[in-house]
Amino acid sequence: MVTRLLMVVFTGVTVLPHSVWDASAADLTLYREWAEIIVGRSVFPLDDERWQYPPGAGVLLAVPWLLGGGFAYNWLFFALVAAADASVLSLLIGAARADGRAVAQTGPWVWTVGVALLGRLCYGRFDLIVAATAAAALLWSTRRPALAGAAAAAGVLLKVWPVVVLLGLRRRTLWRMSAVAAGAGLTASVGLTALGPGAWSFLQFQSERGLQIESAAATPLLIARLVNGGWTIVHRYGADELSGPAVSAAARGCVAATVVGGAILLFTWWRMRPPAADLALAAVLLALVTSRVLSPQYLVWAVAVAAVCALDSRTTQRPVVMLVLATALLSQVEFPFVYDRVATGSWPGVIVLALRNGLLLCATVWSVARLRGGGTRTLREYPPRSVGRPTAASSR
């Protein structure tokens, strides 16, 4: 509660309309413009190259506009994110109490501390809401597969990555969740397509993006730029991208690394059957470290899945969870505090960015390696059955 109150205090001024001077809340102005287009014209922002989200994101961004719009938009958006934040914490606390083991209490703390370490950026973007759908899908997957499937479908329609929660589930659960997710997703997709033109324009914009300077693949080139020059930083698709020798090769390498990493995870799932949440965390970290675009708010995805992993005493990922938290802290240092140095490619910014991406790479490799120690285990049920389980008072 204290961490969130501090975030409210420090974000309060920046949620005012036109307060674009603060990088943490700058996107709220853009969200408001998109919401006005979607609601007023019944069309997605298909002419804006910065629109790079599935159509469900348009509906989400339109909600604050429909509820109040104008001056109230930013405050209502802030309230939606806060509600999602509280919902995740409530689910984690409920799961920890139902489990009864002291180690399960670390789950809620990982979420509480992780979001605080990422800072107010979490409340100025909608990625926390997407992370909430993934966490809910994982927690409900065993006992409430229909709800879990609906949550996963909602997450995929906001941003594609929550599909990773389906990895590692037991076959029966996987089929039930996938069926509900596919049905809900297809129905919603038809409705969103009918809402207006441009629902799927994000696919073109995403495919045309280059190598963002914050991505792990760009870090060696940024260091080389400091030593020898030869690279420039350009602003495209709403982000700062690197231009120069080997950039295209690095971008293609990201795609190849994603494919190879995905194949390794599938092989690990087939041979070892690691816990579902553990496999999901490895998949999220792999997606982050191999992505051509690595915005700092994406780390909340890993924080959410790490919090679910921390609930289970059998998780293989506990050391990795600590690395995720350290990476979250460095992400806040990188953005917004030294991002002006990152955007200009100067030493202070590049050093912080290299440390952040180095930690992320270590977390990814360690996460995948530790999956080998989790053979034949499945995600613990949340809430677990009480029969034969010890009880203990919650520390929260």
In a domain, 370, yes or no: yes
In a domain, 212, yes or no: yes
Residue appearing with tokens 């994603």: 258
pLDDT value of residue 186: 80
pLDDT value of residue 74: 87
| Burial bucket for residue 271 (CB in 10 Å: 0-12, 13-18, 19+) | exposed
In a domain, 249, yes or no: yes
In a domain, 275, yes or no: yes
Reported as a pLDDT band with limits 50, 70 and 90, residue 5 is: low
Lowest mean pLDDT among 111-115, 214-218, 228-232: 228-232
SS3 content of the chain, % helix, strand, coil (to 5): 70, 5, 25
Query: pLDDT for 102-134, tens place per residue?
Result: 999 999 999 999 999 999 899 999 999 999 999
Q: Across residues 351-359, what is the average pLDDT?
A: 98
Reported as a pLDDT band with limits 50, 70 and 90, residue 7 is: low
Query: pLDDT for 246-297, tens place per residue?
Result: 999 999 999 999 999 999 999 999 999 999 999 999 999 999 999 999 999 9
| Burial bucket for residue 36 (CB in 10 Å: 0-12, 13-18, 19+) | middle
Tokens representing 299 are 């780390």
Other beta carbons within 10 Å of 207: 8
Higher pLDDT, 78 or 261: 261
pLDDT value of residue 177: 82
What are the helix and strand counts (H, E) for the chain? 16, 3
In a domain, 2, yes or no: no
Lowest mean pLDDT among 48-52, 104-108, 304-308, 383-387: 383-387
pLDDT value of residue 139: 96
> From the centroid of its chain, how far is CA 255?
19
Query: What total number of domains does the chain contain?
Result: 1
Reported as a pLDDT band with limits 50, 70 and 90, residue 187 is: confident
Higher pLDDT, 17 or 80: 80
Reported as a pLDDT band with limits 50, 70 and 90, residue 392 is: very low
In a domain, 264, yes or no: yes
Lowest mean pLDDT among 19-33, 151-165, 255-269, 286-300: 19-33
pTM over 0.85: yes
Rounded (5°) CA angle 346-239-330: 55
pLDDT value of residue 90: 97
Q: In what order do the strands lie in the sheet with 239-243?
A: 211-212, 239-243, 232-236
Q: 29: closest CA among 53, 3, 64? A: 64
Average pLDDT of the chain is 87
In a domain, 248, yes or no: yes
pLDDT over 50 at 386, yes or no: no
| Residue range(s) defining the domain that contains residue 278 | 18-376
Q: Across residues 326-341, what is the average pLDDT?
A: 95
Distance (Å, rounded) from C-alpha 50 to C-alpha 30? 9
In a domain, 334, yes or no: yes
